[in-house]
Amino acid sequence: MRQVVLDTETTGLEVLNGHRIIEIGAVELVNRRLTGRTFHKYVNPDREIDDGAKEVHGITESFLADKPRFAEVWSELDTFLRGAELVIHNAPFDVAFLDSEIARLDLDRASPALRLEEMCQITDSLAIARHKHPGQKNSLDALCRRYMVDNSQRQLHGALLDAEILADVFLLMTGGQAQMFSGGSTQQ
């Protein structure tokens, strides 16, 4: 079973207001073991980043100015994700942004836009956490405390770091194994 734990950072909170993805991070699990394969890209959104979003992730327009557009990273991302079960914390948020970016790719095509759920099974780790821990805080930071996952390097949100942390939390939350089977880190 192949799973990909994924996170994104965005220019703001509202996809319907034209906010865009600026960072994508993902780690691969095969048979519930970290393989060491990762996907990590910064993306130039061709728009301003809300001040509130900058406070969360620290990513600026000047940093992204020379980064590729989503269309330039899509093929590689598609290859990394396709057919996997995606594990995403608060999946509706990230999926809406990814679907919006994918739809932009299809603007010049006659065929309808592809949606992420047509490529992958999607598992919302926040929904799992809420089911297992009703009435409790279930943010990634709260889950790290609950499952004793070290998130001390997480001063700001970052897509790859958050995906790595979520992978550890997800494995512990859904069966008790994390880190003991991790492989070396290789960029994909």
CB count, 10 Å around CB of 53? 19
Amino acid at residue number 131: H
Of 69, 25, 76, the closest CA to residue 47 belongs to: 69
* Residue among 19, 57, 89, 157 flagged as catalytic: 157
Per the annotation, the verdict on 131 as an active-site residue is: no
Cβ pair 27, 38 in contact under 8 A: yes
Task: Locate 101 and state its tokens.
Answer: 């970016």
Whole-angstrom distance, CA of residue 182 vs CA of residue 131: 27
CA angle at 114 for the pair 122 and 94, rounded to the nearest 5°: 40
Q: Which residues of 122-153 are buried (b: 16+ CB within 10 A; e: fewer)?
A: bbbbbebbeeeeeeeebebeebbebbebebee
Q: What amino acid positions are annotated as catalytic residues?
A: 157
